[in-house]
Structure 1
Amino acid sequence: MRVNKWGVGVILAASVLLTGCAGGSDKPADEKPSGAAQEENAAPESDCPELKDGATIDGAALSECVTEAMADSAGFAAKMTTLGMESTSRYNPAEAAVATDTTFGSVVVIGEDAWVKSATGEWQAADTASTDPTVVALSTAAKAVDASDPMGVAGTLSGEYTVTGTGTRLGQDVFLLTGVTEEGGTSVDMVFELTSDYVVLAATGSTELEGQKIESVQEITEWDVEQDIIAPL
């Protein structure tokens, strides 16, 4: 699978999903998960930087820890909000499966296979050569998904980040990491909410394109909960 442009949303979503993302989850971001979601995840065994208030952390060093921690999950669900529009996604790391729904259309990726459906169409295999521009956009998004890093987090952890505070998310304590990343030549201000074991429970990116401020917020709504994703065809 190709890597890392899906989750940040600020850049890729502007061309793929911004034209109609709605119908996101109504589940509050601070709702405490049940069952396995409440259990502590084992921290990655690699040498990971210490998360503490005021620390400056190299993003490249943190990236491996985040990717490993995010993959160590039975599954999770998330929503992305950009310019007030929402999309919802579900992930099953064991099957390398991702499913995303918006009013613009839907995408399912399982391993190397991908299917797309426009809001008014039927499911079909992803086809970036389609004559339907909606199918092309959805297919491009599907091929950009990296099932090992479906939120695109690791790809944005470049440069330096500073731990600027703490908070809570999904009933867990999180550290707030603030920094700037480059996407397609554009600087994007990023804020990540990480647990002590390097799970990113939320990410906010903001930038300015042609004089317009664009902000994208990703929030995990269920963590370590198995997601049933099946091939639509």
Structure 2
Amino acid sequence: MMRSKKWGVGLALTAAVLLTGCSAGAEEKPADEKPTAAAEQEETTAPASDDCPELAEGASVDGTALGACITDAMASAAGYAGTTSVLGMESTMRYNPADKAVESISPMGSLIVIGDDVWVKSSTSEWQAADPESSDPVIAALSASAANLEGVDPAEAAGGLTGDFTVTGTGTRLDQEVFLVSGTADMQGLPVDVVYEVTSDYVILASTASADAGGQSIETSMEITEWDMPQDIVAPV
């Protein structure tokens, strides 16, 4: 029973990554790539337009190029907040890119990441330092997820995006026009059908994903509800 519960928790957290398009290689990406992106961010608040794929109805889009542009574009935000739905479980999220601060609150549990420090709590525990080896499967799963921001931040996750995509339409989010970028991403060998809602300056304002894992259908969604607004994320202990 405990093993099944832990697997379910891990699946839910994996599904959370799927909705942002994190690829199989994202967790294996060398850590020194991120400072490079940060250094580029100091020089410009957005990637040069000729380095980013065209976003227009019918256009073909390379996922790797799009992901890099999304990561860089969203890193310039003062902060943002959003909601996710993973296997029917609703969560709220807040991000401050400059501080590499993330807060996620869900019925399963909560986590706060500030720089290299991580705290987690389950629905029945107090806040505690992250411990991937915890005997509590929820604490262990939350800790493992928080150890890599690709697991909880859509901007970071986009850096691992791969695959071929197509702009299939347009829409509106937060009073901004968005392009519907559709395709199939790969997560640890698992094909994931995804649709991203991306602004003309490469900000993901929403996404949906669906996949079949071990005979279980995974449906996820993400929506940014506040964009470019500082978030009050503080250490819980």
Q: Return the TM-score normalized by structure 2.
A: 0.78
2:210 to 206, 210, 218: 206
Code of the residue aligned with 2:181 in structure 1: it is L
Q: Deviations over 1:142-200 (max 9, x none)?
A: 113249x8115414521111000000011100000011011111100010000000000
Structure 1 ranges of 4+ moved more than 3 A: 15-18
- Specify the alignment match of 1:27 in structure 2: none
- Specify the alignment match of 2:172 in structure 1: 168
Contact 1:108/1:114 (<8 A) preserved: yes
Q: Where in structure 2 are the equivalents of 1:43-54 lying within 5 Å?
A: 43-45=46-48, 47-54=51-58
Which consecutive unaligned segments of at least 5 residues does structure 2 have? 1-7, 16-44
Rounded to whole Å, the distance in 2 between the matches of 1:204 and 1:160 is: 16
Q: Where in structure 2 are the equivalents of 1:128-207 lying within 5 Å?
A: 128-146=132-150, 150-151=153-154, 152-155=156-159, 157-207=161-211
Rounded to whole Å, the distance in 1 between the matches of 2:229 and 2:139 is: 30
Rounded to whole Å, the distance in 2 between the matches of 1:12 and 1:131 is: 13
Give the number of the structure with larger relative contact order, counting CA–CA contacts within 8 Å between residues 6 or more apart: 1
1:99 equivalent to 2:103? Answer: yes
Rounded to whole Å, the distance in 2 between the matches of 1:109 and 1:13 is: 19
Same amino acid, percent of matched pairs? 53
Rounded to whole Å, the distance in 1 between the matches of 2:165 and 2:13 is: 28
**In the TM superposition, what is the alpha-carbon distance from 1:17 to its structure 2 partner?**
7.8
Rounded to whole Å, the distance in 2 between the matches of 1:146 and 1:227 is: 19
Contact 2:9/2:137 (<8 A) preserved: no
- Specify the alignment match of 2:77 in structure 1: 73
Contact 2:119/2:236 (<8 A) preserved: yes
Q: Secondary structure of the residue that 1:121 maps to in structure 2? A: coil
Change (3 A) 1:64 1:155: closer
Root mean square deviation, CA, Å: 2.1
Rounded to whole Å, the distance in 2 between the matches of 1:132 and 1:187 is: 30
**In the TM superposition, what is the alpha-carbon distance from 1:123 to its structure 2 partner?**
0.8
Contact 1:17/1:104 (<8 A) preserved: no
Q: Deviations over 1:128-152 (max 9, x none)?
A: 12222221111111113249x8115
Rounded to whole Å, the distance in 1 between the matches of 2:9 and 2:160 is: 13
Q: Secondary structure of the residue that 2:147 maps to in structure 1? A: helix
Contact 1:180/1:188 (<8 A) preserved: yes
Q: Secondary structure of the residue that 1:60 maps to in structure 2? A: helix
Change (3 A) 1:184 1:146: closer
Q: Secondary structure of the residue that 1:136 maps to in structure 2? A: helix
Higher helix share: 2
Which consecutive unaligned segments of at least 5 residues does structure 1 have? 1-10, 19-41
Q: Return the TM-score normalized by structure 1.
A: 0.79
Rounded to whole Å, the distance in 2 between the matches of 1:12 and 1:103 is: 11
Rounded to whole Å, the distance in 1 between the matches of 2:207 and 2:188 is: 19
- Specify the alignment match of 2:18 in structure 1: none
Rounded to whole Å, the distance in 2 between the matches of 1:59 and 1:135 is: 33
Contact 1:106/1:118 (<8 A) preserved: yes
- Specify the alignment match of 2:94 in structure 1: 90
1:116 equivalent to 2:117? Answer: no
- Specify the alignment match of 2:13 in structure 1: 16
